[in-house]
Structure 1
Amino acid sequence: MAEEAMLDYFYSTRSLQYMVAESMSKNSPLFIGNLLKKVNFVGASDISQCITRHLRFHPVNEFEPFLESSGLKPTEYTHLVPSDELFLNKLLLENHHVLCYSGVDPKRIGKIFEEAREVFGYETGVLASKIKAYEDLGFSRLFLSKLIACSPRILIGATNVQLPKVMEKLKALGFDSDWVMKHLSEEASYDWSSVYRTLSFLRDLFVDEDELRGLIREHPRLIFEDSGEWTLILAGFQTKLGSSRSEFCSLFQRFPQVQVERCVMNLRSCFLFLKEIEMEDDEIRRVFGSHSWWLGSCRLKKTSSLLINLKAYKSRVCEVVKENPEEIKKWTMGSKVEPLPDTEGYMDSKAMKTQFLLDLGYKENSEEMERALKSFRGRGSELRERFNVLVSLGFNEKDVKDMVKASPNILTQACDVLETKVNYLVNELGYPHSTLVAFPSCLKFTLQRMKLRFEMFSWLRARGKANPKLAVSTLVASSDKDFVKYFVNRHPDGLKHFEDLKNQLL
């Protein structure tokens, strides 16, 4: 009854065309519902009279039911409703009529209003002439109505020159307008310049016309998904990887059954994964050159999660991928990732680590030993080498054992790095070996951090702003924020000198 009352109001009182008035009253349930909340009525029988009385003193904004009945939701049309107009104007209604007469579904006209609002301000005859220009190019009314609903902006400015070029290329390949209509989505918006560029790229890539025809028939999304933009992005990605023409063709001919955007995202994820496991660039190119067609359908787990689940270091995972890239298929989202099998080299290395820990005084098969094994990175032979380097630098073997047990991570560093840090602390700064035995964790910090902290400390001490007996652990281990707060700021020029040192050392 409310709909009938609104129809009577729009048609009889406002003198809108009957088709428009009927659509606005019957296809705007949210608008009608909101209106009923504002009207006081006793029963259904007096709804019509109450609405008529209400509208006499409270005229509605006609753009709201017009846009809702044209296929838009309130969240989509709220910003389109004019703030200075209540009533639909003559030109808007005329152009609306032209669109409907041309075969455009009234429920799709909201999208045209949203994307090409200028169309509804055309003077009498302008819109009809633009539509006729496309009809003169040989487009049927049915096909043109679908094009307008999908690409409203073809009605703005001069006739879109790329659209007929696209149709000409497709027609030459054996695809008619019915085929194009079948693969156009009214939910999408098409840029025919981009479609033309994509089609031209594929035409240049495939010399054999039959191959190109088969490709487009099998994967029409290559030219229609996002107007072909993702296909061009994919081409750019593969070009940067150094793909050859034959590799390009192989990728498109064996294109995975996924959206082009998803394919690009998956390839990017795989590329980042290979970079994160530190694979060489030439090897990455080799993997993508031969395997892009299925990598595009692999949505990988995060690298950090994979390394944990595979229970392997980056170097090991990298070697596995080099030997057989198809192992990657087992590491996708939703799959259960099994640890990599132990290699002979890994078992030998573990045995060396175990023997090294036994020599340090750990008990075999104890929880303490298991924790220590997890703390040590690198090959077993490297741990012994690094241990021997510390002994050669003036520490006795017992002290080195105590240092390693207290801070196992110091042996994750290369021999030359350990030697440089010890020489700096002992030979340049003059700290006794006992200082490092008491605080071995200082060797975990970078040499740049050490130099920055100790040079700043020396500068403050020379100006009487620091305790000469300050512990190494306090200097090196405190956070940057605390170091600035409790030491650097003791001198008015301290912060400036600290920043100058940073620029020199870091």
Structure 2
Amino acid sequence: MFDYFYQTRGLQFLVAESMSKNAPVFNENLLKKLNGVEANDLVRSITRFLLYHPVNEFEPFLESLGLKPTEFSHLVPCDKMFLNEDVFLLENYHVFWNYGIGREKMGKIFKEAREVFGFETGVLASKIQVYEDLGFSKSFLSKVIVCSPSILIGNVNLELVKVIEMLKAMGFGLDWVTENLSEEGSYDWSSMYRCLSFVRDLCVDENEVRELIRKRPRLVFESSGEWTLILAGFVTKLGSSKSELSSLFMKFPQGLGKCVSNLRHCFLFLKDIEMEGSEIGKVFRLHSSWLGEFRLKQTSTLLINLRCGKSRLCQIIQENPEEMKKWIMGLRVQPLPGLDSKTMKTQFLLDLGYKENSQEMERALKSFRGKGSDLRERFNVLLSSGVNEEDVKDMVKASPDILTQGCDVLESKVSYIVNELGYPISSLVAFPSCLRYTLQRMKLRFEMFSWLQHRGKVDPNLALSTILVYSDKAFSSKFANRHPDGPKHFEDLKKLLLCE
């Protein structure tokens, strides 16, 4: 391949050597096209193949720059096959090489700022020279160009200049900046400038700013400071002051992106268990530094594993937020200690939205028969049927005695209405009292209704309430009597269902 690129295609020695040695995927794909060729005939076969099947030189060239085929497939020109057809490509390649930027780093530049390889003669070198004239060293520029090649597009990147000037004023030199830049990352200098300006305004004096940046350089360099600004906005909305925010940054672990994600997840958890906004703010103002280190389990998982309601969970967190350290991903969550029945029942009613010590609460306590733990399990049966939590709460408030039944009884009634009869789940929300009636009564009414419907004697779209609320005598009079054989069939159904 070196002979082909260097001697046959006339590419420069350095480029031909790099393409032949550093494009393994390209070479492997070429060999596959010669499958079955004897080893001692391989070189001659490749030579013959290339004579009649010239390759697209951009593919091995871009792969030799450190790019994977999936990264450069869309960068290969559609109207060119040979590198010398792209007039300025190799010229700018050599400008970078001579400046000390290795070929394996040029791939990132090509991917992020393709147009710099199309600059006319002398343009790229002059753009680099402008930055050198501003006092930037060659070692600094060679790294910055790899990290943010967009600085070579357009006019001088003023935000880069402002960031460096600001850092110099704080006592940080170019070597320190170079150490903290990652060639794997891409930097937005305007975002970094906003972040630095924010941190400087946040601190009381220059010494505090310098100490914060020295200990936590990621505040500026991770994602170009965007995570810092997002975090600041987040905790500020929750009531944190400037001094609290400065203290938080000093305590915060290094990986800001992950921490912000964990804090957001924690915030959503506290909202999900219906904690008051002021209480959420208090938790975050005092505990954000360690809350950002862990990721809590999902709300539904915690409620099941802890065997408690949202109100009790809120109370536990308010009393001791560090209890949440026991609920992080990867740890086994132990159920909370049990409460006495009346306390659990009261807690259950609080979760439904009743006001503590209100007359409405007292009446509800008398209406809800059974243990507090039983009420929670029965509530969860309705929740698992597909009704959202707010609708289940409204159902229970409208018809409290639906929770006096066992879980298996509730499940069978819901299954019969939704799965066997085909009523939408919303019909339970509209008429929760339907679950008060026995399954035997339901079957009697709906089988009779089905019999009348097949004979065209009733409207097929009657509501659940219309079919169930009447007494047997009234139902027989209003519906069964619509057909001459109706009363007898109704009585026969009663006897049949009694025997089941």
TM-score, structure 1 normalization: 0.71
Task: List alignment gaps of at least 5 residues for structure 1.
Answer: 1-5, 354-375, 391-396, 422-438, 454-463, 477-506
The answer to whether 1:449 aligns with 2:430 is yes
Q: What does 1:389-468 correspond to in 2, within 5 Å? A: 417-418=398-399, 449-450=430-431, 466=459
- Where 1:90 maps in the other structure, the secondary structure is coil
- Aligned partner of 1:296: which letter? G
Contact 2:167 2:173 in 1 (8 A): yes
CA distance in 1, matches of 2:38, 2:136: 53
Partner of 1:326: 322
Q: Is the 8 A contact 2:308 2:336 kept in 1?
A: yes
Q: CA deviation at 1:92?
A: 0.4
What amino acid sits opposite 1:285 in the alignment?
A: G
Structure 1 residues 27 and 467, CA gap change in structure 2 (3 angstroms): closer
Letter in 2 for 1:281: G
- What is the rounded CA distance, in whole Å, between the counterparts of 2:464 and 2:150 in structure 1? 73
* 1:140-179 equivalent positions in 2, closer than 5 A: 140-179=137-176
CA, structure 1 residues 46+351, in 2 after alignment: closer, same or farther (shift >3 Å)?
closer
Corresponding position: 1:210 with 2:207: yes
Residues 208 and 408 (structure 1 numbering): CA distance in 2 closer, same or farther, change over 3 Å? closer
Correspondence for 1:246: 243
Matched, 1:92 2:89: yes
Aligned position for 2:287: 291
| Aligned equivalents of 2:462, 2:330: Cα separation in 1 | 58
CA contact (8 A) 2:427 2:464 kept: no
The match for 1:38 among 20, 33, 36 is 33
RMSD: 3.9
Distance 1:158 1:387, change over 3 A: closer
Aligned equivalents of 2:353 and 2:48: distance in 1?
Answer: 84
Superposition deviation, residue 87 in structure 1: 0.7
**What's the offset of the Cα at 1:50?**
2.5
Separation in 2 of the partners of 1:269 and 1:467?
48
Distance 1:389 1:106, change over 3 A: closer
2:247 paired with 1:266: no
After TM superposition, the structure 1 = structure 2 runs for residues 63-82 of structure 1, keeping only pairs within 5 Å, are: 63-82=58-77
Q: Aligned residue for 2:221?
A: 224
**Partner residue in 2 for 1:501:** none
Partners of 1:447 and 1:46 lie apart in 2 by 79
Distance in structure 2 (CA, Å) of the matches to 1:145 and 1:110: 14
Deviations 1:73-96 (A, max 9, x none): 011111111121101123101011
Q: Distance in 2 between matches of 1:217 and 1:274?
A: 34
> Could you tell me whether the CA contact under 8 Å between 2:140 and 2:174 is conserved in 1?
yes
Structure 2 unaligned regions, length at least 5: 347-351, 383-391, 403-412, 418-424, 435-456, 470-500
**1:498 matched residue in structure 2:** none
| TM-superposition CA deviations, 1:370-415 (whole Å, max 9, x none) | xxxxxx9999x9998448669xxxxxx9xx9xxx99x976997799
Q: Distance in 2 between matches of 1:123 and 1:469?
A: 80
Counterpart of 1:186?
Answer: 183
Amino acid aligned to 1:68 = E
Shift in Å, 1:97: 0.7
Residue-by-residue CA offset, 1:191-234 (whole Å, 9 max, x unaligned) = 11111111111111112222222222222211111111111111
Report if aligned partners of 2:191, 2:225 keep a CA contact under 8 Å in 1. Answer: yes
Instruction: Give the one of 298, 305, 308 matched to 2:301.
Output: 305
Match of 1:126 among 117, 123, 127: 123
Q: CA deviation at 1:48?
A: 3.1
Structure 2 vs 1, CA of residues 58 and 348 (structure 1 numbering), >3 Å: closer, same or farther? closer
Question: What is the identity, as a one-letter code, of the residue corresponding to 1:22?
Answer: E
Residue 481 of structure 1 is matched in structure 2 by none
Distance in structure 2 (CA, Å) of the matches to 1:202 and 1:285: 22
Which residue in the other structure is 1:472 paired with? 465
Q: How many residues align?
A: 405
- Is the CA contact (8 Å cut-off) linking 2:159 and 2:193 kept in structure 1? yes
- Alignment check: 8 A CA contact 1:41 1:50 kept: no
Deviations 1:102-159 (A, max 9, x none): 1111111111111111111111010110011111111111111111111111111111
Kindly provide the CA deviation profile for residues 229-273 of structure 1, in whole angstroms up to 9, marking residues without a partner as x: 11111111112212211111121111124x111111111111111
1:267/1:296 contact within 8 Å kept? yes
* TM-aligned CA distance change 1:241 to 1:52, over 3 Å: same
Q: Is the 8 A contact 2:263 2:292 kept in 1?
A: yes
Q: Report the Cα offset of residue 349 of structure 1.
A: 1.4
Query: Given the alignment of the two structures, is residue 349 of structure 1 paired with residue 345 of structure 2, yes or no?
Result: no
Question: Deviations for 1:274-323, whole angstroms, at most 9, x for unmatched residues?
Answer: 11111111111111111111111121001111111112111111111111
SS at match of 1:59: coil
Give the structure 2 partner of residue 107 of structure 1: 104
1:280 equivalent among 270, 276, 279 = 276
CA contact (8 A) 1:310 1:338 kept: yes
1:44 positional shift: 4.3
Structure 1 residue 337: deviation in Å? 1.5
